[in-house]
Amino acid sequence: MKEKTHILPFFTTLTLIGFTAAQHHSFSSNADPRDLRTTHIEQNQRQLLYYREELDVEDEYLMLPPCLKFDNPRLRSAYIALQAWKQAIISDPLNLTSNWAGPDVCNYTGVFCATALDDSSIQTVAGIDLNHGDMAGHLVEELGLLTDIALFHINSNRFCGRVPKTLKKLKLLYELDLSNNRFAGGFPCVVLDLPKLKYLDLRFNEFEGDLPKELFNKDLDAIFVNHNRFALELPNNFGNSPVSVMVLANNKFHGCFPPSLANMSKTLNEVILMNNGLRSCLPKEIGLLKKVTVFDASNNKLVGSLPDTIGDMESLEQLNVAHNMLSGEIHDSVCLLPHLKSFSYAYNFITGEPPACLDLEDFDDSRNCFRVRPKQRSTLQCKVFLSRPVHCEAFNCHEFDPSPPSQPPPPPPVTSPPPPVYSPPPPPPPPLSSPPPPPSLVPPSALPSPPPPSSMPPPPPIHFYNPPPLPAPVYNGPLPPITGISYASPPPPSIS
C-alpha cells in the first residue's frame, strides 16, 4: 500500500509532463507560441499567469503578449503579480482594480512606484495600499515577485485563507498590514524571514495557535496581533523585543504575566494585554518601564496587590487594571504620577485608595471594597474573597532576568538567495518620541499629478482605543508618492 501512494503521484507527474510536451509540439508545428497565447488574453479582462516557486519556474520563462512593453524586467514581474492577484479578487465593490490593465502598473490604483534602491535609472513598484477597499479574495503566490516593495497595506478588506510563503522574497518589506480581514490558520511565520520588517499588524483576523518565540527576537518597532485566537503562555524571551508598541489584547494568552517585560524599558511606549487569561501577580519590575505611557492589563485574572513600583513609571498617562482580582491598597505614588490622566481599577477587591486618585481627570474605582465609596461590592463578598491569602510564589513564574541580549539575534536563515547589498544603505529610523502631528489627508483626485518620492513624515502619537491611530515607522528608502494617503495604515473599526 505504501508503494502505491508513491507511484500514483509519480505517474500523474509523468502524464502531465507528457501532456505539456505534446502541447508544445503542437504549438511548434502550427504557429508561434506567443501568437497562440495572445488569443487567450482579451482586452479589459482579467489575466492570470502562474508563478509556482515549488516548480522552480522563473518569471522570465512566462510568455506575455508581444504588444505589452515594459520599461524594465521588474515592472514586467510586477505586472505578472498584480494580474494574478486581480484574478484572485472575487469582489471589488469600489472598483479599485478596474484600471489594473495594461503594462503601466505604476498607474494602477493603490500601486505606487519609486526609484529602485539599487538602480537609480529604473522605476519599480515600491508600495501597495488598498486599505478600506472591502475587497474579497485571497493572496496569491505571485506576490512574491514584488521584490522591491516596502509597504503592503490591505487593512479592512475581506481577504481570507493563508498568507503565501512566497512573501519571504520581499526582502525590502518594511510595513505589513493585514489587519481587519479574514485570514486564518497559524501565525504566518513567513514574516520571520523578512529582514527589513519593522511594522507588523495582524489584528482583527482569525489566526490561531502559538506565537513563535522568534517573533520576540525580531527587530520590530510595532506588533499588533490583537483580536485573533492565539493561545499560549507568553514565552520567556517576550522581553527581548525592541518594539515601542505591543498590543496582544483579546486573544487567549494565559499563564504568568511576563516579568521579562521590564527588559523593554529602553523602547516600550505602550503595552496592551487586556482581555486574555493571564493569571499571576503583577511583577514589581514593571516599575522599570519609565517610558511607557499606556499600560493596560485589564480583564485578566491577576491577583495580589498593585506594585508600588508603578509609582516609578514617570511617563504613564493611562493605567487600566480593571476586571481582575487585585487586592490590598494602592500606593500614594501611583496616583501622584505627573502625567497620569486615566486610572481604572474597577471590579477588583482593593481595600484602600489614596485621596490623590479621586483627583485624577478620569478614574473608576467601582466594585471594589472601599467602604466609604459608592458602587462597591458587598461586605460579605469582600470578606469571603479577602479571607483567602495570596501567595505569588505559588504560580511558579519565571524570575526576572535583568540581562536581555543587547540586540536581537539575526533572523532565521532562509533558503532564497540573499538580497542585493545597496550602497549607500538607508540610515536607521529616527526615534519615535515627541513627533509632530501627521499631515492632513488630501483626496487623490485633488492632485493633478503625484509629487516625487519624499521621506516619511514623522509618526503621530498613539492613544489607545479612542480610536487608536497606529504608529508610522519611518522608511528611509524611496517611498511611493504621497497621493492623499498616509503610510501608516488607518486602524480597523474601533470596538463598541
- The DSSP line for 386-398 is HTS---GGGG-PP
> How far apart (Å, rounded) are the C-alpha atoms in residues 296 and 282?
12
- pLDDT value of residue 108: 98
- pLDDT value of residue 402: 79
Name every residue whose Cβ is closer than 8 Å to that of residue 213 and which is 6 or more positions away in sequence. Answer: 235, 237
* Cβ atoms within 10 Å, residue 43: 6
Q: Do the Cβ atoms of 330 and 307 come closer than 8 Å? A: no
Rounded to whole angstroms, what are the CA distances from 168 to 183, 186, 234, 445, 496?
18, 16, 25, 34, 36
- pLDDT value of residue 3: 42
Tens digits of residue pLDDT in 61-90:
456 888 899 999 999 999 999 999 999 999
Cell of 51: 508563478
> SS3 letters for 165-229?
HHHHHCCCCCEEECCCCEEEECCCHHHHHCCCCCEEECCCCEEEECCCHHHHHCCCCEEECCCCE
Which contacts of 435-444 are long-range, i.e. CB under 8 A and separated by 24 or more positions? 435/459, 435/460, 435/461, 438/472, 438/486, 438/488, 439/486, 441/484, 441/485, 441/486, 442/484, 443/484, 444/483, 444/484, 444/485
- pLDDT value of residue 197: 98
Query: Which of 198, 211, 285 lies closest to 244, judged by CA?
Result: 198
Give the amino acid at 434.
S
Cell of 388: 483567602
Q: Do the Cβ atoms of 272 and 464 come closer than 8 Å? A: yes
* Cβ atoms within 10 Å, residue 451: 9
Instruction: Give the class (CATH, top level) of 76-208.
Output: alpha beta
Q: Do the Cβ atoms of 124 and 74 come closer than 8 Å? A: yes
Intra-chain end-to-end CA distance of the chain, in Å:
56
For the chain, which residues score pLDDT lower than 70? 1-63, 403-496
- pLDDT value of residue 399: 84
- Fold observed for domain 257-394: 3.80.10
* Cβ atoms within 10 Å, residue 87: 16
Up-side HSE of residue 20: CA atoms within 13 Å toward CB? 6
- pLDDT value of residue 62: 59
Q: Do the Cβ atoms of 147 and 90 come closer than 8 Å? A: no
Give the amino acid at 36.
L
- pLDDT value of residue 66: 83
76-208 and 257-394 share one CATH topology? yes
Domain ranges of the chain: 76-208, 257-394
Cell of 215: 517573533
**Beta bridge pairs of residue 124:** 114
Tens digits of residue pLDDT in 166-222:
999 999 999 999 999 999 999 999 999 999 999 999 999 999 999 999 999 999 999
Q: What is the torsional sign of CA 239, 244, 250, 251?
A: negative
